[in-house]
Amino acid sequence: MTTVFANRADAGRRLGAQLLELRDEEPVVLGLPRGGVPVAAEVAAALRAPLDVIVVRKLGAPVQPELAMGAIGELGTRVLDEQVLRSTAVTADELEAVEARERAELDRRVAELRHGRARIPLDGRVAIVVDDGLATGSTARVACRVARDLGARRVVLAVPVAAAETLRQGIDEADEVVTLEAPEPFLAVGRHYQDFTPTTDAEVRAALDQAAGDD
């Protein structure tokens, strides 16, 4: 029987307990907005680590937006799923249009979520990238690459639940992947939560403020 988490905070507490051995390495915990941040906040609390975000955006196929043909992240980072691109016959112009739209939204999100706060430096540190689940892995891959580009010496991807097939394919951008559940077949991340209410930008900002000790 696959574990069902009460909510993202519950999942984060369980994930944090699994990662306690990393506490002495003084990691930085990086949540993927929006849904990964409540999970990451609990991990950061368990590890007594600083909390930050890496903003990413899925590149949805033009005729099937829920299908990820890749993802983009901060620093202009991009990863593409060549198999999806071939199967959907997406043209270069169509890809460029989707990326331009999502890049504008990513830049807006960065400004909205950080609201003037400086990024926590990753040079030479262990970065723990956290999301609420791993399906195709596109956004996780780009987030791990961003962490690496920002100077992290080791990148750990940590999620409460992950698709077994994605884990078999591997997340090369991470040095290690930690997950509590890897069900097969995998239907959707939300199936593993009793409460999968969408996280708001305000909740992300509040989590970052609380972790930073802001009033």
Domains and CATH numbers, the chain: 8-54+121-212 (3.40.50.2020), 57-113 (3.30.1310)
Structure confidence at residue 181 (pLDDT): 94
The share of the chain scoring above pLDDT 70, in percent, equals: 98
Strand partners, 72: 57, 78
Shortest CA distance to 164 belongs to which of 126, 134, 122? 134
Q: How many CA atoms lie within 13 A of 106 on its CB side?
A: 25
Q: Report cis status (omega within 30 of 0) of the bond before 109.
A: no
Task: Write the CB contacts of 138 (distance below 8 Å, at least 6 apart in sequence).
Answer: 58, 59, 68, 70, 71, 79, 81
Rounded to the nearest 5 degrees, what angle is found at the Cα of 176, between the Cα atoms of 55 and 102? 20
Rounded to the nearest 5 degrees, what angle is found at the Cα of 203, between the Cα atoms of 198 and 207? 130
Structure confidence at residue 213 (pLDDT): 79
Adjacency order of strands within the sheet including 78-80: 56-61, 64-73, 78-80
Whether the CB-CB separation of 183 and 191 falls below 8 Å is answered with no
pTM for this entry: 0.92
| pLDDT tens digits, 52-110 | 999 999 999 998 888 889 999 998 999 998 888 998 899 999 999 999 999 999 999 99
Provide the angle, in degrees to the nearest 10, between the axes of the packed helices 201-212 and 36-47. Answer: 10
Can you tell me the distance from the alpha carbon of 119 to that of 52, in angstroms, rounded to the nearest whole number? 7
- Measured in residues, the chain has a length of 215
| pLDDT tens digits, 159-182 | 999 999 999 999 999 999 999 999
Res. 2 pLDDT band, cuts 50 70 90: low
Res. 3 pLDDT band, cuts 50 70 90: confident
